[in-house]
A and B are shown apart, each in its own frame.
Chain A
């Protein structure tokens, strides 16, 4: 079993849809959770991070962490074509060694 699993996609949705991206993990010591967005031929860029269970909202994006189930999600509301990218979840125990999921490729169709 991989340490971090993520739905590989690809995922295609119409513009305006709500998107749900999910990761599961096996290491209960993870305490730092992140979502990155990666456009084609670019490096990843940080979207959101959180240290604790619960929800964190930033504009159209909501990050959700459920430590008891070892499950994290990223919700995108009112999705736009500019949201088309690969989304990577990442986790860390002490903020040094980061473990990334394989990524979910999202296409938002106009």
Chain B
């Protein structure tokens, strides 16, 4: 079964500093990986995805993520954090070899707080 873990419930970073939100996954095949962001009282917004190709994926709002197959990780990064980046971040995984499992499995979420 596919699974995804976000080991940190909360990440605090100062504005202007680089940020990293961690995600590790477990699937039997090559994964499809996603990051979503949720602002208060809003639905989830798609940030970026990795399907195949370059391990460094660039997404919306200056975010990027690095796929590391050997470490089964897909950490979200941004070079310089903004206060407006404060939100709940979800990593999600899908195993494309499971034709019947047309669903994403989401991590538990990481609350990012960027301090001014």
Is this pair of chains taken from one and the same complex?
Answer: no
